[in-house]
Amino acid sequence: MAKIQLNGKKVSIRQKLSISDLLRKHKLDTSKIAVEINGVIIDKAKYKKKILKNNDRIEVVHFIGGG
């Protein structure tokens, strides 16, 4: 198990979990979010390949339309 920080909350995850896996687990629509890991925004094309590591800080930001 690895421990990460997801939007300010400490979370335990299994080893070798990708960003895609994490988003799917939390039922997040990838078309309406941006993911930042340790202060760096990750390109959506890398979500399946980017493996999360112990102590990573992940911020998931939702886009909301309005006017």
Three-state SS letters, the chain: CEEEEECCEEEEECCCCEHHHHHHHCCCCHHHEEEEECCEEECHHHCCCCECCCCCEEEEEECCCCC
Identify the architecture of domain 2-62 in CATH: Roll (3.10)
pLDDT at 63 over 90: no
Sequence ranges of the domains in the chain: 2-62
Mean pLDDT value of segment 17-24: 95
pLDDT, one tens digit per residue, over 25-53 is 989 888 889 999 999 999 999 999 999 99
d(CA 31, CA 54): 26
